[in-house]
Amino acid sequence: MKDVITIDGPSGSGKGTIARRLAKKLGYQYLDTGALYRAVAWKAVQDKIDINNKDALNTILGNIKITFEDDRVLVDGKDISSEIRTGEIGELSSQVSAIPLVRTALFNMQRDMCLKGNVVIEGRDTGTTICPESENKFYLDAAVEERARRRFRELNIKDPGITMEQTIEDMKKRDLRDSSRESSPLTKTNDMVYVDSTGMEIDEVVSFIKNNLNLN
């Protein structure tokens, strides 16, 4: 499967920006799988449910309608693109994503996009679980300090009280949870091209991936 490009990696590695830009260049669709987990976490907060309450979580998963319009994420028709990019939702989405019933519920939508092809999919398990047949798999990484710096710049706009030290700590905690959970953990496999974007410009990373694609 050559027309599916998967990009996995830890938080703040730049997957979203890179994948979106690459998709635009190739004329492909773009799927931000993290936004799905963030949307479920956002809904849990809205409905004031405890994510450990399986029945309540199942009700959410059975009813939630997540759609994408251009670069926006909608839940039941409401644009939540900005509301899901907070430290609180980032942390809760990581917790939610470790629950197997959540992963099962969100699998089909992601798998359907993979089967349609012409898509760049990014997340934590896109090359291992969502689209293991892809022949264009990348693992995007960067030093934790640099990833935290990028995330800090985003979060600080909404929450001026947040510190760099706190951002690094939160990121390490989230990395550990995302890569050590039982269900589809973040993993780098031998068939993924490893890209360390520390010190690289966005366009350099996009060009590197584009030059390493196997599309024919």
Q: Where along the sequence are the contacts to ligand DC (CB under 6 A)?
A: 11, 33-34, 37-38, 90, 93-94, 97, 123-126, 174, 178
Q: How far is the CB of 178 from ligand DC (least distance, A)?
A: 5
Which lies closer to ligand DC via its Cβ, residue 126 or residue 167?
Answer: 126
Residues paired with residue 123 on neighbouring β-strands, in sequence order: 8
Which lies closer to ligand DC via its Cβ, residue 127 or residue 209?
Answer: 127
Q: Cα separation of 58 and 95, whole Å?
A: 15
Q: How far is the CB of 124 from ligand DC (least distance, A)?
A: 4
* Entry field: residues in the chain: 216
Q: How far is the CB of 142 from ligand DC (least distance, A)?
A: 14
Cβ 213 vs Cβ 5: under 8 Å: yes
Q: Cα separation of 172 and 40, whole Å?
A: 22
Dihedral sign from CA coordinates of 189, 194, 197, 203: negative
Cβ 178 vs Cβ 97: under 8 Å: yes
Distances 68 to 78, 122, 189 between C-alpha atoms, Å: 11, 14, 29
Which lies closer to ligand DC via its Cβ, residue 150 or residue 174?
Answer: 174
Which lies closer to ligand DC via its Cβ, residue 180 or residue 215?
Answer: 180
Q: Cα separation of 94 and 117, whole Å?
A: 27
Q: How far is the CB of 100 from ligand DC (least distance, A)?
A: 11
Q: How far is the CB of 33 from ligand DC (least distance, A)?
A: 4
Dihedral sign from CA coordinates of 68, 69, 74, 76: negative
Which lies closer to ligand DC via its Cβ, residue 21 or residue 124?
Answer: 124
